[in-house]
Structure 1
């Protein structure tokens, strides 16, 4: 199976370097992507938005034969879900790594803009629970690989038009929200999680456990566990 790996904000294809080998060893072919405009100047990336990131992922799908698996981390969840919407007949499974599918018109978040781009804001910007399992060396190593993202990408609304997306089998690999809490959110179906609740075939895999927390970047802290979860998800 072809597995397309889509990073979150500030990351590129290299963020999957410790996850991909286990997927390849299991017989799959991995395709880690770097999104358009990542690391480019404000002038170079001024016109790039979330639709361009979705289009880049769809283009990768179209270059491959047969069904594909999409894995999206964090903001990459919006990207892969947009690609599912565009190619629901080509996606065998979609995996959301510590994220969930957005509703039509949803966006990622807002972050400080500097010189027309959004640089990595530093680990102190995030909640303690998100970085709890990143030791100082891992934080330092990962930070050196971060790159700016185009200003428009995090706030651009995503457009979804094909309801067949909801029938594509999906798995949420949750690292910072306990699975029980995730199921309670689905049952309550608040507006911000309406699309999550509408998925017809959804599994939840929890990476962390009480006393052994997992943060928002498990591809750095626990790449083996991430690979195992993806393999479990796709069967």
Structure 2
């Protein structure tokens, strides 16, 4: 009997599970289970409810998702969710078969994404497009309609999540095979940054099995190239058949 494969899809900042709709549909059409989750505090437009939500809360939500998943589990994190899935694989590596970072990478112990963010900031709103690109998030491949949907559905991200340092304790997480889908940075650029000990990719060099895949586009390939991203996720399963 074929083994079920569940993709647990975790979106980055400002996004709910809806961000994965186009990719999830393609995976389901091929018989996979796609669980696109919405992290705590990102299911409405009320930042007042997000004040106390922490990185620990986001990690706990993903750990719960991988534990309820059927069959083999492929955990996928986009962008800022790199910290969340890094925390989840630390706690639940025994039930995660593959780890995929989409234009992201594993975060090291003790690292916070925005440690200097003032405590008075309760939620991080989606910046204007020019500011977002200045911060390094390419909008390549997104037309006016896609940008409009993004702006309309974006939810302020809990600021405490960005301020909290990631706490990791189990180096066994590094035995889980990693695939990095390289969109706004090339595989060569990420390889060089990892080898140089760049803080964004220092932890990547600690994993035992790392595969870098080029998918040149902007920072949101689930919108700009959903078919190709789904193909790359299917390839993760094909490269590591159940039981390997």
Matched, 1:4 2:8: yes
Q: Which moved more, 1:86-95 or 1:129-138?
A: 129-138
**Over aligned residues, Cα RMSD in angstroms?**
2.0
CA 1:188–1:151 in structure 2 vs 1: closer, same or farther (change >3 Å)?
closer
Contact 2:190 2:201 in 1 (8 A): no
Shift of 1:151: 1.7
Shift of 1:230: 1.2
SS in 1 for 2:190: helix
Worse-matched range after superposition: 20-29 or 94-103: 20-29
Partner of residue 124, structure 2: 118
The alpha carbon displacement at 1:233 in A equals 2.3
Label 1:143 to 1:157 Cα distance change in 2 as closer, same or farther (>3 A). Answer: same
Within 5 A, what are the aligned runs for 1:1-235? Answer: 1-38=5-42, 39=44, 41-109=46-114, 116-127=122-133, 130-208=138-216, 214-235=217-238
Q: Report deviation, 1:231.
A: 1.3
Secondary structure of residue in 2 paired with 1:154: helix
Q: How far apart, CA to CA, are the structure 2 residues paired with 1:77 and 1:234?
A: 20
Q: Are the aligned partners of 1:40 and 1:149 in contact in 2 as well (CA < 8 Å)? A: no
Q: How many residues align?
A: 230
Cα-to-partner distance string for 1:82-141 (whole Å, 9 max, x where unaligned)? 111101110000100000100001123377998722111132222276112212222112
- Structure 1 residue matching 2:8: 3-state secondary structure: strand
Unaligned stretches of 5+ residues in structure 2: 239-244
Runs in 1 of length 4+ with deviation above 3 angstroms?
39-43, 109-115
Name the TM-score, length of structure 1 as normaliser.
0.91
Task: Name the CA distance, whole Å, in 2 between partners of 1:147 and 1:230.
Answer: 26
User: TM-score with structure 2 length normalisation?
Assistant: 0.87
In structure 2, relative to structure 1, the CA distance for the partners of 1:130 and 1:53 (3 Å cut) is: same
Structure 1 unmatched runs, 5+: 209-213
